[in-house]
Amino acid sequence: MVPDEMDAWVVERPGPIEDGPLRLVRLPVPSPGPGEVLVEVEVCAVCRTDLHLAEGDLPPRRPRTVPGHEAVGRVIAHGPGVNGGPEVGARVGVAWLRTTCGTCRYCRRGAENLCPASTYTGWDADGGYARYLVAPADYVYPLPEDQDPRTLAPLLCAGIIGYRALLRAELPEGGRLGIYGFGASAHLTAQVAIAQGATVHVLTRSKEAQRLALELGAASAAGAYDSPPEPLDSAILFAPVGDLVPVCLEALDRGGTLAIAGIHLTDVPRLDYQRHLFQERQVRSVTANTRADGRGFLEFAARHPLHVETVAYPFEEADRALADLAADRVNGVAVLVMS
Ligand SMILES: [Zn+2]
Ligand SMILES: [Zn+2]
């Protein structure tokens, strides 16, 4: 049933996307090692991190790696020693966090997102821009059968990271949340917060994104540097713009929390203690996610199906999808669909 070889995209030579760093090649179908499952990919979403890997902003950790860490597919074989993992035939998601050590001080206290020895799908090991991939059974997520894999795939990175940011923002029940920037992750997070009973204010420069925010149930939408119509209990900064940190902090009510969701942020300007921090306002970063975050979010999304804006590309056109992402031509999340 499983062929010997498959089509896969690899990062041949990291560099500007217009120089074509990705190449479609034939690779042997991987065989699952101890504790791993073999997954036949249905859909893989395209994340901005894939672009950073292709362009070399994130230095490659091994040559010719297959990118992709938002893969939805079916388990078709178990490696040795898989106990209690997903059954053969089950639909699963393979996400960014691939392994953690399980023994360091962070892992032991439930903060495996901070594990210094963690490894990542599509960076340390081949990812989902391929017909098949292998992943540790303990790190894949069960996914519902009755939802479109195209809308499930973006949940695996954009959704999970946004969910962790929401947890880090410590929004009180029925609270007022400001969301700064409104891309893939933010539009999912806003829906989670609204479904949980929050009042959400979206602050972003794009008029189109403002319109989408209102359609999805945001109470207001305005420009990134505007003031929200009421003080905020929590804010999440999704835009990688350090200049917005004092803007967010000034919008917070007493005791409010700002969570910064991005991996990268431009320089944060000088803060004024009275205007920005006093009255127990706090700033926190968000680093990757734990499996508990992933499970928590995906269980929530299975009960409250989220509206996901996707743009489908045939698997064979992954390079075009990344070029479109680089040029901001994708209105939603690009997903690669296997033919
Ligand atoms: Zn990602
Ligand atoms: Zn660890």
Q: Tell me how far the alpha carbon of residue 114 lies from the centroid of ligand 2, in angstroms.
A: 7
Q: Which residues of 58-77 are buried (b: 16+ CB within 10 A; e: fewer)?
A: beeeeeebbbbbbbbbbbbb
pLDDT, tens only, 232-279: 999 999 999 999 999 999 999 999 999 999 888 999 999 999 999 999
Confidence of residue 21 (pLDDT cuts 50, 70, 90): very high
| Domains assigned to the chain | 5-147+305-337 (3.90.180.10), 160-285 (3.40.50.720)
Q: Tell me how far the alpha carbon of residue 262 lies from the centroid of ligand 2, in angstroms.
A: 22
Residue whose C-alpha is closest to residue 222's, from 185, 178, 264:
178
CA 156 – CA 16 distance, rounded (Å): 26
Q: Tell me how far the alpha carbon of residue 196 lies from the centroid of ligand 1, in angstroms.
A: 24
CA 160 – CA 148 distance, rounded (Å): 18
Residue with tokens 């070029």: 323
Which residues neighbour ligand 2 (ion) by CB within 5 Å?
100-101, 104, 107, 115
Whether 120 and 94 have beta carbons less than 8 Å apart is answered as no
pLDDT, tens only, 27-48: 999 999 999 999 999 999 999 9
Other C-beta atoms within 10 Å of 104: how many?
16
CA 89 – CA 71 distance, rounded (Å): 15
Q: Tell me how far the alpha carbon of residue 126 lies from the centroid of ligand 2, in angstroms.
A: 21
| DSSP for residue 277 | I
